[in-house]
Homo-oligomer: A and B are copies of this chain.
Amino acid sequence: MARDGSTRELLLDAYVALLIEEGERAATVQAVADRAGVSKGGLLYHFGSKADLEAGLIERFLAFGAEDVEALLRADDIVEAFLRSSIAVDSGFDRATVALVRLAQLPTGGPARAAMQRIDDAYASAIAERLGDEELAHAIVLMSDGIYLRSAMGALDPARAEAELESILAIARRLGA
């Protein structure tokens, strides 16, 4: 999950894991440090404040997202590539996304919301440009968002993810993708 083995990345991993598994309330600075196996002071050496930690997570999400959009633009079948990346619930990007969904819902979640909007828009325009069909691209992104809602609620069964993917792909095909 960590992009390298640095403590900074381990701290972000721990933050993501806590947000996903125990919710925003449990993701205190102390809990994140404990989970990463460093002291609280150690965390605050890398991230000066909790807001800084959140900013670090947003930065990671945006980096992952930009990579993902790049990969999408190189894929033969952009729709399958997009939906497959939506359903891959264990990738670092997906975990970062679900964690960010939690933060986006807080009163202070403005930056998280803006980051998600930015990536969503990048996806939508990449797909729309390739397919030449804005409406279709919109539908595909919206269905992907639906999957993320279920992921965020912990309601997505990884065992059924492949079947889900096939089902949505079939729908996309019917729409002309």
Please, how many residues of chain A have a CB less than 8 angstroms from a CB on the other chain?
A: 41
Stretch at the interface among A3-11, A68-76, A103-111: A103-111
Say yes or no: A171 contacts B138, CB within 8 Å.
yes
Partner of A116, one of B107, B135, B148, B153: B153
Shortest CB–CB separation between residue A47 and chain B, in angstroms?
Answer: 20
* Chain B residue contacts of A38, Cβ below 8 A: none
Known: A148-B149, A175-B175. A155 touches B23 (CB 8 A): no
| Copies of this chain per assembly | 2
Per-position 1/0 for A5-49, Cβ under 8 A of B = 000000000000000011111100000000000000000000000
* Chain B residue contacts of A113, Cβ below 8 A: 153-155
Interface assignment of A150: CB less than 8 Å from any CB of chain B: yes
Q: List A133-177 residues whose CB lies under 8 Å from chain B.
A: 135-136, 138-139, 141-150, 152-155, 167-168, 170-171, 174-176
